[in-house]
Structure 1
Amino acid sequence: MKTKPKFHGSDLEAVEAYYHIPKEEIVCFSANVNPLGLSENVKKELAAHLDILSTYPDREYTSLRKAIAGYCQVDPAHIVVGNGSTELISLLIQTRKARKALIVGPTYSEYERELSLVGGTLTYYHLREEDLFRMDITDFISVLSDGYDLVILCNPNNPTSSALTTEEISQILDACKKTGCFMMIDETYAEFAPDIQAVTAMSLTGIYDNLMVLRGVSKFFAAPGLRLGYGVTSSAQFLSSLKLLQNPWSLNSLGAFAGERMLKDTDYIQRTRNLIQTERTRLVKELSDFEGIKVYPAYANFVLIRILKPGLNSSQVFDYLIEKRMMIRDCSSFQCLDGEYIRFCIMLPDDNTRLLNALGELLKRHRAV
């Protein structure tokens, strides 16, 4: 019998091949990308400036870094841009050469993959389900005394959608400073948070030099194909070492041009925040009334739920929904996440309603059986 593969993110081609469903018919709730799609203003600007592909980008990306600095309220001298946040994660890990790294999990698997390539030891700090995947700061700080030289945190976290506050992050950085530990914070989903300033560590980059914050345009600005990421750190020595490893012109001219326009598109930014906030509140409220599932507080543009119905697992939920042309994320492949969990991102209101109805039908049907 053909073994069912594990589907990740936007593996629509693999889903199409396995289930024989045209990918164009599938609403993807698993990629966590802004459902508004690429900004119409940015599309027009790109179409009108395609001739910039005939020139090399500014090697220092001066104009783009200035736009990022204004958007994040940081010093442009503290910014490095790259070919997606994935490249910067890789460069950071290569540069730090951590002998002993600590990852807060369950989380994005790319961190572990990159760490495995540079050697050293890796440990997971498990967020606990009984705490709704909220970190116990006192306990976590006590663990840091075990001699870690790199801590990796995704905030808000994927797949739990939980988040630390800026004040809590500051406490951790103080502890890291005492032990000589560097901290990487992946803020891919921070812009979706109800209150961005309450969770972002951008304001801390000018205070702590043992910190680098990473973001990109893939999720919030619906541009994963652009491959634009950026990192912020006030450690001049570390930034210089990282750039030595980076290929020149890591980001193409079109990406640099589009990035500036995206970060200045205030109308698109506000419409996105309004949509995610409204729909996230509605989804969490309605899901909380369903029998047979547990819903966790959500700070990102996705919601994690646990299937509590005896005999119903995450794989069955995935199969049921994919037959209805909706692809969610079966979380069984996430490290440190034991149990039957699924994750789905917030899409347009009509699509979200379809998902709610289908999930409700499945839970009722299973109860009847």
Structure 2
Amino acid sequence: MSSSYISSNVQTLKPSGIRKFFDLASKMDNVISLGVGEPDFVTPWNVIEASYHSLEQGYTAYTANAGLLELREEISIYLNDKFHVTYHPETQVLVTVGASQAIDLALRAVLDPLDEVIVVEPCFVSYAPTVNLAGGKAVTVQAKPENEFKILPSEVEAAITEKTKAIIICSPNNPTGTVLNKEELTAIAEVVKKHDLLVISDEIYAELAYDERATSIAAVEDMIDRTILVSGFSKAFAMTGWRLGYVTGPKEIIQAMTKIHQYTMMCAPTMAQHGALEALRNGNESVLEMKVSYRQRRNFVVDALNDMGLSCHLPGGAFYVFPSIKETGMNSEEFAERLLEEQRVAVVPGHVFGESGEGHIRCSYATSMKQLDESMKRLRKFVEKYTD
């Protein structure tokens, strides 16, 4: 069939740079993957059991478009307890098919053609493409390595035009692990309020903050009515394959998003919603156990990387490190390809996360200590070869 039938918007859409290395690695033997952005833990058994039980009880029909009210109530309680933000469960909470769908819905609900959205890079690879698919224009602002990839308010303000409608931020960040504290978020919030913008705040890694408790920008004074808070169960509760997220925000925006959700998805999977209900009610102990393990792995990997000469800041959250590979003289694509070919270690080249990611690689430490130890040995051998 002719490609003339395909939307020009989609034709110009680049495939995910992350998938390229997953596909290459899948065809090789003895590969250690540090590329996968998901927990290596199995979903806690009590969550799985709750989902099984819901099926046994006959809960196999659609839920309300916005999700089980009982789950939305628990989400509201959870956000209030953890991050001191208050949302009405009936009108300000929407359960989605993963956090990615929540971001897509938010952008489609608020953007008119050619509205601009500031995307802070390095960032998750879907942000800019999703803005473009929603008819908007992504304007990238580069967070810099010398600031540990923390965006400065002045850099945000310099990118604002009369067409700017929103900014997307992610803290803890994928791919850098950087966490913005309350003071830093407050400074960004001042710029947002000054220019009457919205914030789409991706907080999917908020539970995985290791050195200080994560802060939501929605909790900053006068920000709750201009923040669309996106989160979910994939990362903290090891529920990636369950595809369950949620979004909260001003009533009018959540209602607009729900209208789109009605026509495109109907509702999130019922059995996954019952599992998520159990995760919120009785999953805290499992989350804490995973956090302790991630923190140990983070410290090990950061020490190993710096010791072999790959400069790496200590990330405050998520489960990624973002070391510089500039000392090798290779760009990030070449480094990742050669590392995979020569040492069978899969990482993600930094450039796929934005221009300021070039000269870096993303390594996930969401794998066993045994695998991390072996991968660091292989990486050291590779680095020594190209820096002697």
Fold agreement, TM-score > 0.5: yes
| Contact kept? 1:144, 1:176, Cα under 8 Å | no
Deviation, structure 1 residue 324? 4.8
Aligned residue in 2 for 1:366: 386
Q: 1:96 to 1:159 in 2, by over 3 A?
A: same
What amino acid is aligned across from residue 25 of structure 2 in structure 1? Answer: V
Aligned residue in 2 for 1:97: 111
Deviation, structure 1 residue 14? 5.1
What amino acid is aligned across from residue 200 of structure 1 in structure 2? Answer: S
**Matching of residue 330 in structure 1 with residue 349 in structure 2:** yes
| SS, match of residue 356 in structure 2 | coil
Q: Distance in 2 between matches of 1:164 and 1:33?
A: 22
1:201-231 residue CA offsets vs partner (Å, 9 max, x unmatched)? 3534985301111112222222222111111
| Contact kept? 1:108, 1:159, Cα under 8 Å | yes
| SS, match of residue 116 in structure 1 | helix
**Matching of residue 219 in structure 1 with residue 235 in structure 2:** yes
Comparing 356-365 with 111-120, which one deviates more in the overlay?
Answer: 111-120
Aligned residue in 1 for 2:370: 350
| SS, match of residue 108 in structure 1 | coil
1:122-142 residue CA offsets vs partner (Å, 9 max, x unmatched)? 311111233231222244345
Deviation, structure 1 residue 257? 0.5
Unaligned runs of 5+ in 1: none
- CA RMSD, Structure 1 to Structure 2 (Å): 2.7
Q: Structure 1 length normalisation: TM-score?
A: 0.86
Deviation, structure 1 residue 358? 1.2
**Matching of residue 82 in structure 1 with residue 87 in structure 2:** no
| SS, match of residue 192 in structure 1 | coil
Q: 1:224 to 1:207 in 2, by over 3 A?
A: same
Q: Distance in 1 between matches of 2:359 and 2:195?
A: 37
| Contact kept? 2:172, 2:214, Cα under 8 Å | no
Q: Structure 2 length normalisation: TM-score?
A: 0.82
Deviation, structure 1 residue 170? 2.7
Q: Aligned to 2:360, which of 323, 338, 341? A: 341
Matches within 5 A, 1:116-135: 116-135=132-151
Matches within 5 A, 1:42-57: 42-51=47-56, 52-57=58-63
Q: Aligned to 1:15, which of 18, 25, 33? A: 25
| SS, match of residue 384 in structure 2 | helix
Deviation, structure 1 residue 338? 5.5
1:132-162 residue CA offsets vs partner (Å, 9 max, x unmatched)? 3122224434544655211111222222222
**Matching of residue 28 in structure 1 with residue 48 in structure 2:** no
| Contact kept? 1:81, 1:251, Cα under 8 Å | yes
What amino acid is aligned across from residue 30 of structure 1 in structure 2? Answer: G
Q: 1:366 to 1:200 in 2, by over 3 A?
A: same
Aligned residue in 2 for 1:68: 75
Aligned residue in 2 for 1:284: 302
What amino acid is aligned across from residue 82 of structure 1 in structure 2? Answer: T
Deviation, structure 1 residue 309? 3.1
| SS, match of residue 365 in structure 1 | helix
| Contact kept? 2:198, 2:226, Cα under 8 Å | yes
